[in-house]
Amino acid sequence: MSSNIKSTPGQRFRDAVASEQPLQVVGTINANHALLAKRAGFKAIYLSGGGVAAGSLGVPDLGITGLDDVLTDVRRITDVCDLPLLVDVDTGFGSSAFNVARTVKSMIKFGAAAIHIEDQVGAKRCGHRPNKEIVSQQEMVDRIKAAVDARTDDSFVIMARTDALAVEGLESALERAAACIEAGADMVFPEAITELDMYKLFAARVKAPILANITEFGATPLYTTEQLKSADVSLVLYPLSAFRAMNKAAENVYTAIRRDGTQQNVIDTMQTRMELYDRIDYHTFEQKLDALFAAKK
């Protein structure tokens, strides 16, 4: 079969950005959630670095996770879901251009469609927490150049995230975004934006797709897709919405079972066995197993 660039994850991500304005990108903490997101009609999905830290490892989003931790979750998602996956690679998982290059090559190999890489220092923090520190603009540009140079697939998307707004102000963030696009980045992710009109300024300055991170309980108001479209936003990210709901639901179930000595009082909050089987296409697998057993008899 001849290779077709249209079939690459990166090209599917670019096509999704072009076809839906703005493109809703929803966080999927694991492979099961990726299937649920596809069923709900989303055209692209996301793996959060903070989600890998908290969900897979049970640690804070403070630069503790490594490349292999994220790759494990990437592979599990891309193995079962063909939606293009945007992956948070923090600062690139290492201090040198070689680390950034290894990260990019690995992400492509494991089936990711896009990454975003940020300008925080190695000991990074959640983008909506105080006391963030950022590297120089030149160091961030070098990260982008290293990422772009390492691409083994030209359609793979390199997105530049800047945390400069909270640290150095709007003009610095705009300058950094423009410098990253000049260095070869495809899209821009200005983090922790506090006013809707700021997105329009980024779009005008860089003339490239802008991502709005609409995470709950953070610095950015929960703008609607209509509001964001009016501000020239191309992608809207909901990084941990389902994860937060999942955690709250699990906590409520654990509390109820421990308190009541039974799960009867929370059974109506649960996905049923048949719903689960339907979502993971269980019966198709079982039918193949039945056919195999029948053929052996």
Q: Quick check: is 191 catalytic?
A: yes
Order of strands across the sheet that contains 114-118: 187-190, 157-162, 114-118, 85-88, 44-47, 23-27, 235-238, 211-213
Neighbours of 151 (CB within 10 A): 18
**Does residue 125 have a known ligand-binding role?**
no
Q: Quick check: is 88 catalytic?
A: yes
- Biggest distance spanned by C-alpha atoms of the chain: 73
**Does residue 90 have a known ligand-binding role?**
yes
**Does residue 51 have a known ligand-binding role?**
no
Q: Quick check: is 278 catalytic?
A: no
Q: Which of 12, 126, 163, 186 is catalytic?
A: 126
Enumerate long-range contacts of 249-256, CB under 8 Å, 24 or more apart: none
**Does residue 45 have a known ligand-binding role?**
no
Q: Quick check: is 20 catalytic?
A: no
**Does residue 48 have a known ligand-binding role?**
yes
**Does residue 95 have a known ligand-binding role?**
no
**Does residue 224 have a known ligand-binding role?**
no
Q: Which of 119, 151, 186, 213 is catalytic?
A: 213
Q: Quick check: is 90 catalytic?
A: yes
Burial class (CB in 10 A: 0-12, 13-18, 19+), 15: middle
Q: Quick check: is 180 catalytic?
A: no
Are 61 and 49 in contact by the 8 Å Cβ rule? The answer is yes
Q: Quick check: is 286 catalytic?
A: no
Q: Which of 12, 30, 61, 125 is catalytic?
A: 61
Q: Which of 12, 14, 33, 116 is catalytic?
A: 116
**Does residue 180 have a known ligand-binding role?**
no
Q: Quick check: is 33 catalytic?
A: no
Q: Which of 118, 119, 163, 186 is catalytic?
A: 118
SS3 97: helix
**Does residue 49 have a known ligand-binding role?**
yes
**Does residue 161 have a known ligand-binding role?**
yes
The angle at the Cα of 78, spanning 71 to 22, to the nearest 5 degrees, equals 105
Burial class (CB in 10 A: 0-12, 13-18, 19+), 161: buried
Q: Which of 176, 191, 223, 238 is catalytic?
A: 191
**Does residue 213 have a known ligand-binding role?**
yes
Q: Quick check: is 116 catalytic?
A: yes
Q: Quick check: is 81 catalytic?
A: no
Q: Which residues are catalytic?
A: 46, 61, 88, 90, 116, 118, 126, 161, 191, 213
* Residues flagged as binding site for Mg(2+): 88, 90
